[in-house]
Amino acid sequence: MSELRRDPIVGRWVIIAERRAERPVAIMDEEERDVGPSACPLCPGKERNTPPEVFAIRPDCSEPNTPGWLIRVVPNKYPALTIEGDLNRRGLGMFDLMNGVGAHEVIIETPEHNARLPDLPLQQIKLVLVAYRERIIDLRNDKRFIYILVFRNYRAAAGASLLHPHSQLIAIAITPEIVKRKLESARAHFMEKQRCLFCDLLSQELRLGERVVLETEHFVVLSPFAARFPYELHIYPKAHCHDFVLMNEEQLEDFARTLKRILCCVRDTLNDPPYNYVLHTSPNPVPRLGRPDYWQTLPYDYHWHLEFIPRLTRVAGFEWGTGFYINPVPPELAAEVLRGELSSKGA
């Protein structure tokens, strides 16, 4: 079992996951080496090569773990965290550690090995989002899991080990440091002003317009004022909402359309770069044992969003040493370029 260890100097948790070293060497190469559908464990017909599915969309009502699915979610074969066991939070002298209990799942986005997410039909992208939603809802029933993170790595340079379109999900028993900082900042703003920090930010950005890439009926895509990376983009729902799983059908469809347009636009403008996206949504709202007040104002002060980071620059010594990022492309310029591309498509 892996172990979570807390750095006593900076308070950062690290997952020590020895098992992951067993991953085949080829998939850790920087260069992309597509194994092809015949050797791909995520392709239809290879259902026995993955752990049994935990969720699937099967319009033909086919049996679990057989072909016939449109979406399939399976535990990661090389999980960073394991679902069984006690957390066993403990101290070891000045160190804090706990067992690596959590869930690590792979969301297979299409049966088609060579498809790419932005090219999938809108309806299929919507099903991917439905799978995110259903897995988050299900995993929150497990009170051990405080935070569930959905993320997507595209291409080897962004950490993807397989070419077959997929996203991943990790459920963990702690609030990640980055999320905690966002939650605390949002709560402090709300306590002072009785308003949502993100709603305030959105109304200002929409008024100024210079960093807004796209505005749809329900969503805003913008490059943030202090973007860390060139063409970093954030997608926010326009209506205040703390939790991704609360989207209605109409919003879900608009989100799928927005995501598709942005992914197509970035691919066409920036030569199909590797990227990561990360869904920031509410932590598990189930009250924690002994902490009934935890994140009590969450529905009022937090605002879910998706962060999209094209991997156009490498994080180097200066960034590691300072936590500062050097971004050679001002977000205003990135937004202007992407707006231009979107309008030239007339989309």
Catalytic (active-site) positions: 166
Closer to Zn ion by CB, 15 or 199: give it: 199
Q: Does residue 199 interact with Zn ion by CB under 5 A? A: yes
DSSP 36: -
Q: CA 257, CA 235: separation in Å to the nearest integer?
A: 12
> Binding of Zn ion at residue 196 (CB under 5 A)?
yes
**Contact yes or no for 162/41 (Cβ under 8 A):** yes
Minimum gap (Å) between residue 139 Cβ and Zn ion? 24
Query: Alpha-carbon distance 36 to 16, whole Å?
Result: 31
List the one residue from 145, 198, 229, 295 that touches Zn ion (CB under 5 A). Answer: 198
List of residues 6+ apart from 141 with CB closer than 8 A:
none
Establish if 108 lies at the interface with Zn ion (CB under 5 A).
Answer: no
Q: What are 211's two structure tokens?
A: 């960093």
Q: Does 247 bind Zn ion (CB under 5 A)?
A: no
CA distance 175 to 155: 27
Total Cβ atoms within 10 A of residue 49: 13
- Residue 196: CB minimum distance to Zn ion, A: 3
**Angle between helix 331-344 and 249-270 (nearest 10):** 100
- The minimum distance between CB 140 and Zn ion, in angstroms, equals 21
x/- mask, Zn ion, residues 203-222, rule CB under 5 A, reads --------------------
Residue in 65, 70, 45, 63 with CA at minimum distance from that of residue 54:
65
Task: Match 């060579």 to its residue by tokens.
Answer: 114
Which of 43, 221, 222, 265 contacts Zn ion by CB under 5 A?
43
Among positions 271-310, residues that touch Zn ion (CB under 5 A) are 303
Binding piece for Zn ion, criterion CB under 5 A, among 41-49, 120-128, 170-178, 284-292:
41-49
CB of 162 to Zn ion, least distance (A): 7
Whether 197 contacts 182, CB under 8 Å: no
Nearer to Zn ion (CB atom), residue 187 or residue 327: 187
Q: Judged by CB under 5 A, does residue 128 bind Zn ion?
A: no
Task: Determine, following the binding rule CB under 5 A, whether residue 267 of this chain makes contact with Zn ion.
Answer: no
Q: Which is nearer to Zn ion, 261 or 303 (CB)?
A: 303
User: Which of these ranges, 8-16, 140-148, 238-246, 258-266, lies near Zn ion under the rule CB under 5 A?
Assistant: 238-246
Distance in angstroms (rounded) separating the CA atoms of residues 19 and 39:
22
Using rule CB under 5 A, residue 240 touches Zn ion: yes
Candidate segments 18-26, 190-198, 278-286, 314-322, binder of Zn ion by CB under 5 A: 190-198
Q: Which stretch binds Zn ion (CB under 5 A): 150-158, 236-244, 246-254, 307-315?
A: 236-244
Residue 35: C-alpha distances to residues 39, 40, 60, 115, 343 (Å): 6, 6, 28, 15, 37
Give me the phi and psi of 84, to 5 degrees please: -90, 155
Q: How many residues bind Zn ion (CB under 5 A)?
A: 10
**Is 257 among the residues that bind Zn ion (CB under 5 A)?**
no
- Strand, helix or coil for residue 5: strand
In the complex, the smallest distance separating the C-beta of residue 109 from Zn ion, rounded to whole angstroms, is 11
186 binds Zn ion (CB under 5 A): no
Which residues 156-185 are close enough to bind Zn ion by CB under 5 A?
A: 164
* C-alpha span between 213 and 318 (Å, rounded): 29
In the complex, the smallest distance separating the C-beta of residue 35 from Zn ion, rounded to whole angstroms, is 8
CA pair distance 36, 277, nearest whole angstrom: 24
Chain positions contacting Zn ion, by CB under 5 A: 40, 42-43, 113, 164, 196, 198-199, 240, 303
